[in-house]
Structure 1
Amino acid sequence: MQTSAPLPGSLFELIVNRQPAQTVTSVSPPTFKSLVSSLIGLLVERQIPAFVWAKLPRNEIWQEELQRYSQIPDLSQVIYSLKSSSEEDASEEGQETSAATRANLADKSNHADSNITYLRIPGANTLRREYLLFIWSKEIQVAVVARRIRLRRGVMDSSSVADMESIAGDPTIEESSDKKQVLDLLTVFGADAVRNLLNDLQRLLLPTIPAKSTTSDDELATLASRLDTWNAQINTIAPEPIQPLLLSTLLARHLHQQDENSQRATLYRKQAEQAEFLQVQNEELMNAVRFKDDFLSNIGQELRTPLTTIKTALTLLSSPSLRPPQRQRYMDLIAKECDRQSSLITSILELVQINQAAKAASIEPLRLSEIVPGVVSTYQPLAEEKGVMLAYTIPEELPAIASVNAWVKQIVIHLLHNGIKFTPRGGQVWVRARHQDPDSVQLEIRDTGIGIPGNEVPKIFERFYRVRQTSAEDSGGAGLGLTIVQQLLIHCGGSINVKSRPGEGSIFTVSLPVYKSSASG
Structure 2
Amino acid sequence: MNASLAFELSPHDFLVKTDISPIQVSPNTFKGFIANQVDLLMALETPVVIWAKLPRGESWQGEIDRCIALAGGPRSLFLFRNTLEETSDEQTAVQEVLNPLVVDSYRSHATPQDRLVTLHLAGDMLLRREFFFIVWSSQFCNGVCAQRSRLKRGSELSEVENEVAEPPIEPTEKRNQLSLVHTLDPSRIQQLLLRLESLVRSSSFEVTDHLSPEAPYTLSQIVDQWHSYGIQQPLPTSSPQLINQLLGKHLHRQEELWQRSNTYRKQAEIVEVLQIQNEELINTVRAKDEFISNVGQELRTPLTNMKTALTLLNSPNIKPPQRQRYMDLLVKECDRQSSLIGSLLDLVSLDQMAERQTLQPITLSDVVPGVVSTYQPLAEEKGVRLAYTIPEGLPAIACLNPWLRQIVVSLLHNGIKFTPRGGQVWVRAKQQGDYIQLEFKDTGVGIPVQEIPKIFDRFYRVRQIAMDDPGGAGLGLTIVQQLLLRCGGSISVKSRPNDGSIFNVLLPTYQYRDAEKASE
TM bucket normalised to smaller:
0.7 to 0.9
Cα distance in 2, alignment partners of residues 29 and 455 from structure 1: 56
Segment of structure 1 superposing worse, 347-356 or 111-120: 111-120
Counterpart amino acid of 1:486? Q
Q: What's the counterpart of residue 451 of structure 1?
A: 446
Question: Residue 161 of structure 1: SS of its match in structure 2?
Answer: coil
Give the TM-score, by structure 2 length.
0.84
Q: What's the counterpart of residue 79 of structure 1?
A: 77
The superposition leaves residues 399-436 of structure 1 with CA deviations (integer Å, 9 ceiling, x where unpaired) of: 55444443333333222222222222222223333444
Segment of structure 1 superposing worse, 385-394 or 363-372: 363-372
Segment of structure 1 superposing worse, 178-187 or 57-66: 178-187
Cα distance in 2, alignment partners of residues 39 and 517 from structure 1: 69
Question: Residue 387 of structure 2: SS of its match in structure 1?
Answer: strand
* Residues 5-24 of structure 1: pairs in structure 2 closer than 5 A: 5=5, 7-8=7-8, 10-16=10-16, 18-19=17-18, 21-24=19-22
Q: CA deviation at 1:456?
A: 1.6
Cα distance in 2, alignment partners of residues 94 and 489 from structure 1: 68
Q: CA deviation at 1:166?
A: 4.3
Give the TM-score, by structure 1 length.
0.84
Cα distance in 2, alignment partners of residues 178 and 450 from structure 1: 62
Segment of structure 1 superposing worse, 408-417 or 496-505: 408-417
Q: What's the counterpart of residue 352 of structure 2?
A: 356
Cα distance in 2, alignment partners of residues 352 and 398 from structure 1: 32
Q: What's the counterpart of residue 318 of structure 1?
A: 314
Counterpart amino acid of 2:315? S
Q: What's the counterpart of residue 149 of structure 2?
A: 149
User: In the alignment, which of 46, 50, 53 is matched to residue 52 of structure 1?
Assistant: 50
- Asked whether the 8 Å contact 2:151–2:160 carries over to 1, the reply is no
Matched, 1:387 2:380: no
Matched, 1:31 2:26: no
Cα distance in 2, alignment partners of residues 104 and 363 from structure 1: 74
Q: What's the counterpart of residue 337 of structure 1?
A: 333
Q: CA deviation at 1:257?
A: 0.6
Q: What's the counterpart of residue 493 of structure 2?
A: 498
Q: CA deviation at 1:2?
A: 8.9
* Greater radius of gyration (CA): 2
Q: What's the counterpart of residue 229 of structure 1?
A: 225
Cα distance in 1, alignment partners of residues 336 and 208 from structure 2: 98
Question: Residue 504 of structure 2: SS of its match in structure 1?
Answer: strand
Cα distance in 2, alignment partners of residues 453 and 157 from structure 1: 61
The superposition leaves residues 225-282 of structure 1 with CA deviations (integer Å, 9 ceiling, x where unpaired) of: 4333333324277443333222222222111111111111111122222222222222
Segment of structure 1 superposing worse, 291-300 or 24-33: 24-33
Segment of structure 1 superposing worse, 345-354 or 131-140: 131-140
Change in CA separation of 1:166 and 1:494 when aligned onto 2, cut-off 3 Å: farther
- Asked whether the 8 Å contact 1:122–1:209 carries over to 2, the reply is yes
Question: Residue 498 of structure 1: SS of its match in structure 2?
Answer: strand
Q: CA deviation at 1:298?
A: 0.8
Matched, 1:297 2:293: yes
User: In the alignment, which of 185, 189, 203 is matched to residue 184 of structure 2?
Assistant: 189
Cα distance in 2, alignment partners of residues 441 and 156 from structure 1: 68
- Asked whether the 8 Å contact 1:51–1:234 carries over to 2, the reply is no
Change in CA separation of 1:152 and 1:277 when aligned onto 2, cut-off 3 Å: farther
Question: Residue 84 of structure 2: SS of its match in structure 1?
Answer: helix
Counterpart amino acid of 2:31? K
Question: Residue 261 of structure 1: SS of its match in structure 2?
Answer: helix
Matched, 1:161 2:165: no
Counterpart amino acid of 2:227? N
What is the Cα-based RMSD across aligned positions, in Å?
3.7
- Asked whether the 8 Å contact 1:188–1:194 carries over to 2, the reply is yes
Question: Residue 127 of structure 1: SS of its match in structure 2?
Answer: helix
Question: Residue 165 of structure 1: SS of its match in structure 2?
Answer: coil
Change in CA separation of 1:117 and 1:377 when aligned onto 2, cut-off 3 Å: farther
Q: What's the counterpart of residue 265 of structure 1?
A: 261
Counterpart amino acid of 2:139? E
Change in CA separation of 1:340 and 1:249 when aligned onto 2, cut-off 3 Å: same
Matched, 1:282 2:274: no
- Asked whether the 8 Å contact 2:129–2:159 carries over to 1, the reply is no
Question: Residue 208 of structure 1: SS of its match in structure 2?
Answer: coil
Segment of structure 1 superposing worse, 103-112 or 48-57: 103-112
User: In the alignment, which of 395, 405, 409 is matched to residue 405 of structure 2?
Assistant: 409
Q: What's the counterpart of residue 62 of structure 1?
A: 60
Counterpart amino acid of 2:165? E
Counterpart amino acid of 2:323? R
Q: CA deviation at 1:482?
A: 1.7
User: In the alignment, which of 454, 469, 476 is matched to residue 471 of structure 2?
Assistant: 476
Segment of structure 1 superposing worse, 306-315 or 266-275: 266-275
Counterpart amino acid of 1:329? R
Cα distance in 2, alignment partners of residues 240 and 452 from structure 1: 92
Counterpart amino acid of 2:453? P
The superposition leaves residues 373-422 of structure 1 with CA deviations (integer Å, 9 ceiling, x where unpaired) of: 43333333332322223333344544554444433333332222222222
Question: Residue 291 of structure 1: SS of its match in structure 2?
Answer: helix
Q: What's the counterpart of residue 243 of structure 1?
A: 239
- Asked whether the 8 Å contact 2:442–2:501 carries over to 1, the reply is yes
Counterpart amino acid of 1:503? N
The superposition leaves residues 70-91 of structure 1 with CA deviations (integer Å, 9 ceiling, x where unpaired) of: 323333222222222233x769
Question: Residue 73 of structure 1: SS of its match in structure 2?
Answer: coil
Gaps of 5+ in 2: 516-520
Q: What's the counterpart of residue 125 of structure 2?
A: 125
Change in CA separation of 1:467 and 1:248 when aligned onto 2, cut-off 3 Å: same
Matched, 1:465 2:460: yes
Cα distance in 1, alignment partners of residues 490 and 289 from structure 2: 26
Matched, 1:43 2:41: yes
Q: What's the counterpart of residue 518 of structure 2?
A: none
Cα distance in 2, alignment partners of residues 160 and 495 from structure 1: 61
Q: CA deviation at 1:220?
A: 11
Counterpart amino acid of 1:12? H
Q: What's the counterpart of residue 248 of structure 2?
A: 252
Q: CA deviation at 1:468?
A: 5.0
Q: What's the counterpart of residue 433 of structure 1?
A: 429
User: In the alignment, which of 484, 499, 506 is matched to residue 511 of structure 1?
Assistant: 506
Cα distance in 2, alignment partners of residues 299 and 219 from structure 1: 86
Change in CA separation of 1:457 and 1:31 when aligned onto 2, cut-off 3 Å: same
